[in-house]
Amino acid sequence: MAHKAGFVNIIGNPNVGKSTLMNAFVGEKLSIITSKAQTTRHRILGIVNGDDFQVILSDTPGIIKPAYELQTSMMDFVKSAFEDADVLLYMVEIGEKALKDEAFFKKIQNSKIPVLLLLNKIDTSDQEALEAQMQHWQGLLPEAEIHPISALENFNVREVFERILELLPEAPPYYPKDQLTDKPERFFVNETIREKILLHYKKEIPYSVEVETEEFLEDDNIIRIRSVIMVERDTQKGIIIGHKGSALKKVGVEARKDLEKFFDKQVHIELYVKVNKNWRSNSQQLRRFGYNG
Ligand SMILES: Nc1nc2c(ncn2[C@@H]2O[C@H](COP(=O)(O)OP(=O)(O)OP(=O)(O)O)[C@@H](O)[C@H]2O)c(=O)[nH]1
Ligand SMILES: [Mg+2]
């Protein structure tokens, strides 16, 4: 049988469930997930390999109008996902009416490649609302194929994957068949810590944080990690640390548990907090953290 391979890029508004879907396809927690918008900041590949296929999924940041340089770079990742896609997965959630950005929406309407419109979170909906939504989207995107799904409950996810396989071109694999992602181990450490910060801190704090792992030392029994949590301002440093270090400790304990599962090994984490003034608007700092800057 001929081998199929290609890029399948997931795009959509913030918080619609893009990362949940990618993890469901891959069967690993590659992308962090929270109920807050703008959880994902990078383009993250999740590769699903079979004997005669390689599906290279891309999770991307939710589409927003950028207000500072970090967000501009996040939207550059989304743009890149339009450029190399063999199949576009445009995800919306029940109740949503359109992409917040007109220009991106036009790109989807004018897409030359197949678009699967994934209407997500149907577990929160009833049949009547679902049918109304399907009609709404079919009107806006007559060329797109609509698939109602629940990424969270794994409903219709397998069927969508089968459809993707049908649509993919014949091609040799782009990556080694045992490769799962394009990101290094430290990236997943940073993201896991950032997920705990998104979960436990309010308002601007999670959006002002970047994590950098300075040390990742693995031996037969244990991985020793030292990571720095960077904030934008002095006042944020105290908030991250909390009373007698209690808040920071919680982040460390929860991140460690997740990372022990992810790496299937004992993990030791040391966390530090540093102020890196206005890093979100500093091109040089952004490049250092893996954004285009
Ligand atoms: N009820 C329900 N909730 C879902 C479903 N899929 C995702 N969610 C929830 O929606 C929230 C956002 O999920 P994410 O996967 O982080 O969404 P995202 O589109 O990657 O978000 P950003 O990275 O911020 O753009 C989380 O609380 C998920 O648990 C679903 O099918 N049903
Ligand atoms: Mg995400």
Mutate which of 152, 154, 194 to test ligand 1's pocket (most atoms within 8 Å of Cβ)?
A: 152
Atom in ligand 1 nearest the alpha carbon of residue 91: 19
Tell me how far the alpha carbon of residue 12 lies from the centroid of ligand 1, in angstroms.
Answer: 11
C-alpha span between 170 and 30 (Å, rounded): 26
Tell me how far the alpha carbon of residue 61 lies from the centroid of ligand 2, in angstroms.
Answer: 6
Atom in ligand 1 nearest the alpha carbon of residue 22: 15
Q: Is 206 in the pocket of ligand 1 (CB under 6 A)?
A: no
User: Residue 98's pLDDT is what?
Assistant: 81
Atom in ligand 1 nearest the alpha carbon of residue 20: 15
User: Residue 265's pLDDT is what?
Assistant: 97
Question: 151-163: per-residue pLDDT in tens?
Answer: 999 999 999 999 9
User: Residue 172's pLDDT is what?
Assistant: 97
* Average pLDDT score, the chain: 96
Question: 31-70: per-residue pLDDT in tens?
Answer: 999 999 999 999 999 999 999 999 999 999 999 999 999 9
Q: Is 16 in the pocket of ligand 1 (CB under 6 A)?
A: yes
pLDDT tier, 293 (very low <50, low <70, confident <90, very high otherwise): low
List, in order, residues 6 or more apart from 226 with CB less than 8 Å away: 213, 214, 215, 269, 270, 272
Question: 176-212: per-residue pLDDT in tens?
Answer: 999 999 999 999 999 999 999 999 999 999 999 999 9
Atom in ligand 1 nearest the alpha carbon of residue 37: 24
User: Residue 97's pLDDT is what?
Assistant: 83
Question: 95-145: per-residue pLDDT in tens?
Answer: 998 887 889 999 999 999 999 999 999 999 999 999 999 999 999 999 999
